[in-house]
Structure 1
Amino acid sequence: MYKRIISVILIFIIMICCLGNNKANNNKQEKIYKNIYIEDIDMSNMTKKECIDILKEAYPLEDINLKYEGKTWIIHPKDIDFRYKIEEATDIAMKYTKTSKRLENIKRKSKLILNERHHIHLDEEYDKEKLSAIIDCISNQIDREYVNATLAIEKDGTFKRLPSKEGKKVQKDELQKEIYELIQNKNITDLNIPVKTTLPTLNSDDVQSVNSILGQFSTAFNNHTSRGSNIHTAGESSGDIILMPQEIYSYNKATGPRVLSKGYKYAPVIIGGKYRNGEGGGVCQVSTTIYNAALLAGLEIVEVHNHTYISHYVSGGRDATVAYGYYDLKFKNPYSHPIYIKNIVGDGAITTKIYGCKDDIKRIYVRTEYEYKKQKIIVKTYRVYLDQNNQKIKEELISTNKYDQK
């Protein structure tokens, strides 16, 4: 009961003080009530102009300097319509104890008189679209695409290499966030532009590691026929390819459809067990040549198919028929270094050379086993690995092939 009486008396005294202050304020310039803060600055008993002047001095509009590799880009406040809402915060402070509700005003003043502080946040604003446009402009000056190293091997075995270059990419979202935090925290300092380095998929070391032939194979053909022309066309499109570690080579992907519009001609192909003229006849000799080079290079065979009949240009179990959309030749690079597939076509022969790192050279030979069953010839193809003394290390079955007997 005693505490309640004391509280009522205290409130009554505060009300009298408040009414007295109101009368006094009517006779002089309005001021901010005591214990009202904007941010951490005490604005007690300050006029509107005094409050604005103090805030402008405490929170000046400063340039934002963005730096990267010795170069500086300056964002002026006017460039992005950046300002602190000083006038708005001051008005809120002035009106905090001057609401339209008299009882609410007394309640607020009571708390302030009892040394309960009231804090007002100083908001900021800027044009985000203008800032984004400036960041885009800066990014255009810094960003660059990475450049892969290049490798070309001429027919005579000459290597031509060009080094790789790293790329640069400004992290725009991160930069915008850092600028926003500077403004929000009212602590304008220099910023280092966040730039990510982008690495080439084929670097200079990769290209330098390709220095030796891992395996090669040749087959002969009649150079002066439409079939020979198709071999030239397919040989060009399926070679000069770099295969990265664990990457899979697809013959069909390399050549694309073997159609007339791509320079192929009609030549004999096997359709339904019979020889007929078709677009791209002869391309299987190219895939077969590449296949045998891949076998001798120790590459992992992923997909291979044999012809209906044993081919005239290679022994049974060593052929690789292809039909776009149906049969493909695929193999994987199992090494930790890239390989380079080179086809050389001319003078009635096609040769495939598969280049790689000398550390990946294997001693390999291919053997086949024939079995005759009724109208079929079954040929098993094995790859044999040898050590430096030509002793067998291991042997693996690559394929089991079934041919019709002619």
Structure 2
Amino acid sequence: MNERKEPLDRDSQKEHEPVNSTQPSSSWYSRFFGWVKSHKRKIAAVFGMISIIIIGLGTYLAMHMDEAPLPHGYRVMGIDAGGLQPAEVLTKMNEQIAAFEGITVQFVPDRTDNRLDPLMEQTFTLKELGFTFKNEEAVNQLHQWEEGNIAHKWKLGRELAEESLDIETSLHVDQMTNAVRKSFGTTIDREPKNAQAQYITPFKVKYEEEVDGWELDEDKLEQSLIQLVSKLKSHPDTTQTMTVRMPLVTIPADLTVKTLKTRKPNALLGEYTTLIANRGEGHAHNVRASAKALNGAVVSPNQQIRYSDIVKETEEQYGLMMAPVIENGRMVDGIGGGICQTSTTMYNAGLLAGMGVVERNSHSLPVPYVPLGRDATYSTDGPDLVMTNETGGDVVWTTRVEGNRLKVQVYGQQLPGITYDVITEQRNSPVLKISNQITDKIAPEQSSIIVDSYRLKKRNGVVVNKERLPQSRYKLHQEERIEEKERY
């Protein structure tokens, strides 16, 4: 009998189907997603809370990083800036700069001399002496920290933690030197004073000692102040006045007493005498007055003596009077007549003493007190007599008026065996003889006379040099016009 088998339902069939061991089980997926599905509201709430926390934390950090203090280990100008805000550090930096600028300095003499005592009477601040203090790099770093974002601060903080910036110093040298020179003047810049020789007589001298001068050594002063500031940067002391030696350079006097003693005259080098004509009180006064002004004149080696200076002193000390002068080729009365006799006598004494001739001019008309070619005229703003000292020592001039005689003497250092003589050569003939009395007609037929003069230098009586002197030219008619007024 055949039995009829009913088919199983699908579930039952599946339930009895053999399980394939290689097919993964999906039960935990089902359970997980089922759990998520059933708890999706709670999960969404949790994620929302987490997002809020993260955003809040980020906002909090961002807000507080803007006010984050500088990293520890960061030092600026000796200030421990770690944990401080940039504004606080800038304030401390400015206080430090002000303290350095306000440090006082007093200068002390670098030698023993009471003329330098004024140095101790004044102090200067470093700022007054031209010092400035700063650190631009630190200022830039502080501004970067203050303005940077989180990432920038994070990076910069690691760099600053190992940074130590010193104070930067600058010195304006011109301000330094101007400050000390304005305050101390000749105390630190003093001209030397040469020794002086006062000749009481040509052989008796009173000496005044030389005095050395000094001037500021700007380079050493700059170095000294920079060294002082360098020490202060390492060990700052803003409470005490710092002392610095004022460096001065000695300027020796050009002329010492020792040198002057070697230039003292030892002999009469030359003298000349002329006769003073009787042309009235004014003429005699002018001769005597100009002789007094020349008396005692001292000419140093290689220096000049100008008769115009003697005339100026004559006018200031004694005044000049009216006396005969040569004007426009004629003898007329004028101020200063007679002073040319002193210049002429001086010229001849100087020639015999070996003085050099720089300028000499003859009168326009012959004069009676010296041979032709031996006179030396003078006129205000015109011809002058200028001689130079070509000896190795001082030359001292002396004058003396005895009766109607004027004597001029020149003292100096005598070279052994050396003497001088003067000769003249008249180109025209006959030789003109000049009377001591001036008349309206003093000239012969000739219109002029030319005279050549020479100085002979002799050694032990033997001529060793013949020097040509300035030529002389004389007009022989008073009517001929002469531009200068000569004092005769």
User: Paired residue for 2:209?
Assistant: 164
Report deviation, 1:176.
Answer: 5.5
1:312 aligns with 2:368: yes
Residue of structure 2 in register with 1:79 after alignment: 123
- Bigger drift between 131-140 and 192-201 goes to 131-140
| Counterpart pick for 1:326 among 382, 390, 394 | 382
Shift of 1:401: 1.3
* Correspondent of 2:329 among 265, 273, 297: 273
Matched, 1:205 2:288: no
Q: Which aligned pairs between 1:1-400 and structure 2 lie closer than 5 A?
A: 30-31=69-70, 34=73, 36-38=75-77, 45=82, 64=106, 66-70=108-112, 79-82=123-126, 92=139, 95=142, 97-102=144-149, 106=153, 109=156, 112=159, 117=163, 119-123=165-169, 132=179, 136-137=183-184, 140=187, 143=190, 146-154=193-201, 157-171=202-216, 177-178=222-223, 180-186=225-231, 190-201=244-255, 203-211=257-265, 212-222=267-277, 225-256=281-312, 263-359=319-415, 362-372=418-428, 374-388=446-460, 390-400=461-471
Percent of aligned pairs with the same amino acid: 16
Separation in 1, partners of 2:406, 2:277:
11
Structure 1 residue 105, shift from structure 2 partner: 5.3
1: CA distance between counterparts of 2:223 and 2:206? 42
Alpha carbons 2:302, 2:388 under 8 Å: kept: yes
Higher-strand-fraction structure:
1
CA contact (8 A) 2:134 2:168 kept: no
- Cα shift at 1:230: 0.3
Q: CA deviation at 1:352?
A: 1.8
Asked if 2 retains the 8 angstrom alpha-carbon contact of 1:267 and 1:277, the reply is yes
TM-score (norm 2): 0.62
The one-letter code matched in structure 1 to 2:452 is: K
Unmatched 5+ stretches in structure 2: 1-59, 233-241, 430-445, 478-488
Aligned partners of 1:238, 1:100: CA distance in 2, in Å? Answer: 88
Q: Which stretch of the first structure deviates more once superposed, 333-342 or 59-68? A: 59-68
Amino acid at match of 1:387: R
Give me the whole-angstrom Cα distance separating, in 1, the residues matched to 2:394 and 2:70.
78
Larger CA Rg, structure 1 vs 2: 2
Change (3 A) 1:98 1:248: same
Could you tell me whether the CA contact under 8 Å between 1:139 and 1:169 is conserved in 2? Answer: no
Q: Is the CA contact (8 Å cut-off) linking 1:33 and 1:97 kept in structure 2?
A: no
Cα pair 2:106 2:124 within 8 Å, conserved: no
CA contact (8 A) 2:188 2:216 kept: no
Question: SS in structure 2 opposite 1:249?
Answer: strand
Q: Using the TM superposition, give the Cα deviation of residue 170 of structure 1 relative to its aligned residue in structure 2, in angstroms.
A: 3.9
1:306-360 superposed Cα distances (whole Å, 9 cap, x missing partner): 1123221111111001101011001122234332223333433222222222348
Q: Distance in 2 between matches of 1:89 and 1:343?
A: 79
Return the offset for 1:295.
0.7
Q: In structure 1, list runs of 5 or more residues that go unmatched.
A: 1-18
Q: Distance in 2 between matches of 1:75 and 1:228?
A: 59
- Residue in 2 aligned with 1:10? none
Change beyond 3 A, Cα 1:22–1:42: farther
Counterpart contact for 2:356–2:388, Cα < 8 Å: yes
Report how far residue 62 of structure 1 moved: 7.6
Q: Report the Cα offset of residue 208 of structure 1.
A: 4.3
Tell me how far 1:287 sits from its aligned partner. 0.4
Distance (Å, rounded) in 2 between the aligned partners of 1:75 and 1:88: 33
Hey, what's the Cα distance between the residues in 2 that align with 1:302 and 1:381? Answer: 15
Aligned length: 374
- C-alpha distance in structure 2 between counterparts of 1:255 and 1:202, whole Å: 31
How far the C-alpha of 1:213 sits from its partner, in A, is: 2.2
Say if 2:192 and 2:253, in contact at 8 Å, map to a contact too: no
Alpha-carbon distance in structure 2 between the residues aligned to 1:98 and 1:202: 70
313-322 or 133-142, which deviates more: 133-142
Report the 3-state secondary structure (helix = DSSP H, G, I; strand = E; otherwise coil) of the residue aligned with 2:341.
Answer: helix
What CA distance in whole angstroms lies between the structure 2 residues aligned with 1:346 and 1:46? 104
Contact 2:291 2:400 survives alignment (8 Å): yes
1:49-86 CA distances to partner (integer Å, 9 max, x unpaired)?
Answer: 9x88xx89xx895865523224797989x932347988
TM-score by length of 1: 0.73
